[in-house]
A and B are shown apart, each in its own frame.
Chain A
Amino acid sequence: MNLAIRSEMLKLRRPRVLFSTIAALWGFAVLVSVLSVATGKDDSTANSTGDLTGTHGATVGFANASRLVGLVILVLFLTSVTSEYSFGTVRILLMRQPRRAVVLGGKLIALLGAMAAGLLGALMLSVAAAAVTMAARGLPMDAWFSSGGLAHVGQAYLNAVIACATYGAFGLAFGVLLRSTVLAVGVMLGWFFMAENIAANTWPDSVHWFPGLLAGAVMSGGTAAVSYWPALAATVGYALAAVLIATTVFTRRDTAA
């Protein structure tokens, strides 16, 4: 497995992949963070000044960016698989490492490691951007640097890792299932960013069932509609199911790419 991880890391260091992913990840996190702080008002239902100046204020913007950050992670995981099919490299990988689960496992672990590092950078930049915007608005940030505030930052990071890993697991699974970048991205975006949003606005219970909505709830530390622990359990369940399906299909299907 160690060799498969190292081999995958060599591919992830491609400048185009690396810079475009980091730019999107960090860019969305900073943008949403600045907008969240800049637009928060006393009477806002979300991002109120009370929220922003509270112990979890530092990560309000970061949590709001969950869907966009999740999208970047989803596309990264998905294209990491589909590009192996479009380049034809999957057949060389499987000849060089016939234990297919090892190839997929190495890819997953390498991507999760890269994702965790990217999210850490996104969180730090997001908090920094939020702090600058708070200072510009003259809002106090004392609670951010209390022990409770710092604990919230740590919790926000863990939640982001779990939520984004779920998006990544779906990207991996649909990449393996569909093998086509265009098709898989289309299906995933259609589901997570259209179907789920429509469902959320028309069927309130959807937040208890749909993976993207649940992952968003985890990243926000729970919402009024769904509390944290049930959302976490369901999200982890979805992620494990996606990885299991991906592994089963990848190890059993003929490779004619």
Chain B
Amino acid sequence: MMPDMDTFSAVVVDGLTKRYGSRTVVDRLGFRIPRGSVAGLVGPNGAGKTTVLRMLLGLVRPDGGTATVNGVSIDEPARYLPGVGALIESPAFYPGLSGRRNLTVYATLAGIALEQVSVVLDRLDLTARAGDAYQTYSLGMRQRLGIAAALLGQPRLVVLDEPTNGLDPAGIRDMRAIIRSINDDGRTVLVTSHLLNEIQQVCSWLIVVRDGRLGYQGEIGAVEDLEERYFRILQGDQS
């Protein structure tokens, strides 16, 4: 990878590999995410998207390859994770605690000023229900609280794993607006989905993963007949 490319990339992945037993889930994967972009990591279920995120977020150790996040190797998660916010897999909170108390738990652990809890709750339009137990929240509210948690600490990179999963059309529309507004703040956003259409709606940079390998990466606007090309990639046609 060229040094100047690294400088302008929020994430650089090179040869990343993860095996579970004899099964290779991520196979010598390489891609980059331009700083300030909304990047979409798309691929069918089981393509290895979430495993890639887990490795980038320090939850899972790769078996091979390297990656940097905001210029820091993923071998040093304590150095780069304070600058990363993530909603991975599904929102994860303590059901009996209120939304506000849940965010306070995470903010306290990370040493983030507690004033930020109110700021992110307000931004995600959750202030009115902030005192209610998380278990009483609707799916859409849970997703928004998950994003509020990801925004704590004003991260430079925000990772959202399948953020529209299970949402109704209005919720999906709201989620797209939230993603755009996060990007408007100058943050890099990485969104995963198994639906190309979802990625097309909000992303400027596309990464296609198939069987743990890179199928394609590049600007979405530069690809003609994206949907046709996407299905060809999924069928193994790299042309």
Alpha-carbon separation in the docked complex, A89 to B97 (Å): 13
Q: Is B58 a contact of A89 with CB atoms below 8 Å?
A: no
Return chain B residues, CB-CB under 8 Å to A99: 78
**One of B8-16, B105-113, B181-189 at the interface:** B105-113
Bound together, the chains give a CA A97 to CA B57 distance in angstroms of 11
Is A3 interfacial (CB 8 A cutoff)? yes
Contact residues in B for A17 (Cβ distance below 8 Å): 96
Q: Which residues of the other chain, A, contact B86 by a CB distance below 8 angstroms? A: 95
Q: Kindly specify which of B87-95, B167-175, B214-222 makes contact with the partner chain.
A: B87-95
Docked complex Cα distance between A15 and B110 (Å): 24
The residue on A at minimum CB distance from B134 is: A87
- B223: Cβ under 8 A from any A Cβ: no
Question: In whole angstroms, what is the CA distance A97 to B96 when docked?
Answer: 22
Asked if residues A3 and B92 are in contact (CB atoms below 8 Å), the reply is no
Tell me, in angstroms, the Cα distance from A92 to B87 when the chains sit together.
Answer: 8
Are A92 and B92 interface neighbours, CB within 8 A? yes
A4 within 8 A of B: yes
Complex CA gap A108/B88 in Å reads 26
A16 proximal to B (CB < 8 A): yes
Once A10-B105, A92-B106, A97-B110 are accepted as A-B contacts, the answer to whether A87 and B57 lie under 8 Å apart by CB is: no
| Residue in contact with A95 in the complex, picked from B58, B61, B105, CB distance below 8 Å | B58
Chain A: CB-nearest residue to B54: A256
Number of interface residues of A (CB under 8 A): 28
Contacts A3-B110, A98-B77: A87 and B95 contacting too (C-beta < 8 A)? yes
Q: How far is the CA of A93 from the CA of B108 in the complex (A)?
A: 11
Rounded to whole Å, the gap between the CB of A111 and the closest CB of chain B is 15
User: Are A95 and B84 neighbours in the complex by a CB distance under 8 Å?
Assistant: yes
Query: Given A6-B108, A96-B110, A256 and B59 touching (CB < 8 A)?
Result: yes
A255 within 8 A of B: yes
Q: Flag whether A14 is at the interface (Cβ < 8 A).
A: yes
The one of B54, B78, B108 in contact with A255, judged by C-beta atoms closer than 8 angstroms, is B54
Q: How far is the CB of A85 from chain B (nearest CB, A)?
A: 10
Besides the known contacts A3-B108, A6-B108, A98-B81, 5 further A-B residue pairs in the complex with CB atoms under 8 A apart: A3-B110, A7-B109, A87-B92, A96-B81, A254-B61
